[in-house]
Amino acid sequence: MLRRIRAFWRSIVDRDSMDLAMDEEFALHLDLRTQDLMKRGMSPEQAARRARVEFGSVAAAKETARATWGAAWLDRSKQDVRYTLRLLRHSPGFTAVALLSLGGGIGATTTIFSVVDAVDFRPLPFRDASRLVWMTELTPAGTKAWCPFCPFPAAPATASYWATQLRSIDEVAAIGPYDLTWQHDDVIEYLPGLRVTTNLLPMLGVQPERGRPFAESDAAPGAEPVMILSHDFWRTRFGGDTAILGARIGSGDEAARVIGVLPPEFEFRDSPGIWKPLRLETAEQRSTRWLTVMGRLAEGHSVTSAAAEIRTLQSRLAADQPETYRGWGTSVKPLREWFAFGATKNRLILLGFTTLVLLIAVFNVAGLLLARAIARAPEFALRTALGASRRRLVGQMVVEGACIGLGGGLLGLVFAAWAVRITPRWMEAHEFGLDIGVDARMLLFGIGLSIIVGITASLAPALRVMRLDPSPKLSAGGRATGRMSGGLVMLQVAMAIVLLTAAGLLARDFVELRYLDLGYDPDGLYTTNIRGRGGSAGLAAWRTTAEGVRARAASTPGVVSASLEIRSATNPVFVRPADQPPATPIRNPQLRAIDAGFFATFGTPLVGGRSFTADDQAGAPNVAIVNEAAAAAFWPGQNPLGKRLTVGDTPADAELLTVVGVARDMERGEMIERHWPMVYRPFSQAKLYRASATLHLRLDETARAIPTIQRMVHESTGRPSAPLASATEKLRDQLFAQRVNAIALQVFSAFGLLLAAMGIYGTAAYAVTQRMREIGIRLALGAQRAAVMMLVARRGLLLAASGALLGVAGALALARVFGSIIVGTSPMNPWIYFGAAAVMVGSALVATFLPARRAARADAVSALRAQ
Amino acid sequence: MTDRAALLPGTLELLILRAVSLGKLHGYGILLRIEQISNGALLIEQGALYPALYRLERDEFLATEWGTSENNRRAKFYSLTPAGRKKLRAETDSWRSTARAMAAALGLQPAGA
């Protein structure tokens, strides 16, 4: 076997020396034969001629010999490639259409593939990454409709419970968000970072490139604050200056000493620049869920067994602390899913759509090749008669397909190399911290795909050539060929309708989201968090400090109004209508503490009662405002004004609140569902748990107001201000992925529609060319022009109609898949299915009408002369 | 020239193996040897000889080496490999039984003779 491969190889690279050897051998043979013949009395010339005649063709012998060694295959392919290239050059229209359709399809598919590959397929670049898991709590019912039982961060208390109790997971590490504010030389910098338990980096197998790793003591209470920098951040922010090791970064009590720099190849989600140690036991807000928890599976345990153990632990927690854990579930998943943002399914669906586009392109090119094969039937017949074997002809069709496929593939790869730089952002992959770009895997996929695609496209014409009648015929195109090309067109129509439907559903979904009634006016609305000093003394003074910040903000030029809010006013929360027995199951409302100006700042109308006023002070009767959802849930059909609510940490220390107003439901881009019951109470009457609040501002002159407010917040609270977030930008970010998905599908479906229409056009145009004589006769005999038009249009229209039926059926079958990529609307919207089919059939009408009109306008005499 | 029988497909290779089994030969020598052992009764297409030789060489039934011909030219000599010898034996046996069966079927000779 080895020898055969070597021989084959030699036959390719060492052809010349093989040829020489054969020449020598044949020359000797001829000479010896000539001598023998001369011995029998022939003249030298006679003998030499005779010897050559007996030997036969030297070239044929060589050819057969080379075939034995395998090189002939290569020779033939080279000839076929050269022939194909010549053909392609001579029909630039066909070539352009074929290359562009395949290029578009292959480009889109390769782009999406390389994102999916990097994010969902390749192993994470960490030590023994397959044993790493991601543990979450699961949101109870009441979170957004698209997200009941979403993975949710875990509370520090939960994480440390897991860390001490779990046997199926060796190590439990936690990550919390952290942004360092650093004010120096009149500049405020926000440095992105993470707080991590000291075992996280060792668990991932990451060692600092410079300096030292975290020691357990770095996280101990009272230890000197330290930080480790990512390589990228160290290089871009500090110019790779080694003097930064040992320096202190940050303002006031946030300042910490730099002890290390991570290696350049280490990438992490959200690309944090700063890593600080976190101690679960001393983390603030112990029962607030804000930590991402990961761990390493113990020997002999699987994700499933770990999930079972963690469920048991959670039910124990739920029994002990029902207020915190009731309704909350748990999940254990491979760590990859945290990096993949759980959107794997969406990405696979998008990959499916691009594959559909590619299939339409392939069928389109197959149709073109088929038409060409039919047109070339006389040529094939001639070549067969001249001794070309059918295998040789089929081989040539395949080579043609592969050439077109590769050409399209090259175009596609150029496109993908460009697209892959912008795509990850909208595929919810922008924060993976994973490397997505042009690499060997992408090139391999693209080239492999092109070859497969090219050969697939050549199958139809190849089958056609196989059935070729060997006798040279001028008339071409049998019934079977018609069925094949008709089938191709029909499938293109059907797939284009599936794409159009998906695009329509996404577009409608996006419009719905975009023009959703938010319940407030996001324009000019800005939000920032303010914090005071910790400790009980700080907490007592906080109410005054916060109110002072609000008042100074409200009087800043450019600010229309300012208002305060505490998102979690009691913690843990216990809120229920007082007139219902505690056992009644209710939708657990959310409680927020706000000031008198809150609804005015948001522009949210009150649908009943009054807003809070300055008189709703501590000591005055406790009051509350509920939203419409709460009013409908607790007191259906009744007037909620004057009703009472019980609010407290536990039923024992509950306060009674009287409802004085009803506000519109608001969609604030939070985890909580828009129409979920909300209870608002005055900031001044609410119990505070920590010195923090959210400051909402309505600005009409952002450029001037924002820096003034940041300076003021720093002066008033003694802490640098967090950045001001714009509500419109937040909404836009949330809609970004949806919008781009909608745009991408519109591009895909437009492409599919165009290709399918071209297929229909081709069918009709072909019918006209083929039947020109018949049309001439009919016209000469006085046929109506309309009848002639129908004659050639009929087939295209029939194909469009049957394709449309197939497409709508396919789209309906895929409705559930569509449903998982749209968030705000139903996938069962009959108008969109109907509309998609109508758009396709309409395009088909135009595509058939153009050639049909040409037929009807033909002049009978010249039509009769056709062919 | 006497009537010569055209070769049955596949028999050329068997003849080559047989010819070479008596000693190494170059291409033309093989042709002469086949004519000689068949008493000139078999017609060999000379052009077809070489592809068959190369096929046998590729399949490692024949070994080749360069040597000097009787007229002092460089020539490629073919000889049997052990695998070639085995193939020759097997093919000869199967040919013999085929020939006998054909003869019997055509009534040229009583079966088993």
DSSP A315-369: HHHHHH-HHHHTT-EEEEEETHHHHTTT-HHHHHHHHHHHHHHHHHHHHHHHHHH
Angstroms from A76 CA to nearest CA on chain B: 18
Distance (Å, whole) CA A499 – CA A503: 6
Closest CB to A28 among B26, B46, B55: B26
Tell me the chain B residues in contact with residue A54 when contact means C-beta distances shorter than 8 Å. Answer: 46
Test the B interface: residue of A24, A37, A68, A69 with most B CBs within 10 Å? A68
Residue ranges in A91-165 assigned as alpha helix (H): 92-116, 156-165
- Residue of chain B minimizing CA distance to A66: B51
- Does residue B1 carry a pLDDT above 50? no
Mutate to test the interface with A, among B25, B36, B44, B54 (most CBs of A within 10 A): B54
Q: What is the pTM of this model?
A: 0.65
Structure-block tokens of residue A519? 């319940």
Report the percentage of chain A scoring pLDDT > 70: 85
- Residue from A221, A293, A304, A230 nearest A267 by CA: A230
* Phi/psi at A297 (5° precision): -60, 140
User: How far is residue A442 CA from its own chain's centroid?
Assistant: 16
A396-424 as b/e: b if 16+ CB within 10 A:
bbbbbbbbbbbbbbbbbbebbbebbeebb
On whether any CB of chain A is under 8 Å from the CB of B75, the answer is yes
pLDDT tens profile A657-697: 999 999 998 887 665 667 778 889 998 888 777 778 889 99
Residues A331-366: tens digit of each pLDDT: 888 888 887 766 677 788 888 989 999 999 998 888
pLDDT score, position A10: 60
Least confident among A412-416, A582-586, A626-630, A805-809: A582-586
Helix axes A15-39, B46-58, angle to 10 degrees: 140
A581, pLDDT greater than 80: no
pLDDT at A649 (0 to 100): 63
Cis amide bond preceding A334, omega within 30: no
Helices (H) and strands (E) in chain B, counts: 4, 5
> pLDDT band at residue A459, thresholds of 50, 70 and 90?
confident
Q: Do B50 and A26 touch (CB under 8 A)?
A: yes
Q: How confident is the model at residue A411 (pLDDT cuts 50, 70, 90)?
A: very high
Top mean-pLDDT range of A187-191, A550-554, B2-6, B58-62: A550-554
Contacts of A22 in chain B (CB under 8 A): 50
Are A496 and A840 a contacting pair, CB within 8 Å?
A: yes
Measured in angstroms, the CA of B86 and the nearest CA of chain A are apart by 19
CB contact under 8 A, A28 and B73: yes
How far from each other are the two terminal CA atoms of chain A, in whole angstroms? 55
Find, in chain A, the residue whose alpha carbon is nearest to that of B67. A25
3-state secondary structure of A593: strand
How does DSSP classify residue B8?
Answer: P
> What's at A626, amino acid-wise?
V
Question: Which residue out of A64, A66, A69 would a mutagenesis test of the B interface target, given it has the greatest number of B Cβ atoms within 10 Å?
Answer: A64
B72 interfaces chain A, CB cutoff of 8 Å? no
Tell if the CB–CB gap between A31 and B71 is shorter than 8 Å.
yes
Q: What ipTM did this prediction achieve?
A: 0.84
The secondary structure of residue A284, as a DSSP letter, is: S
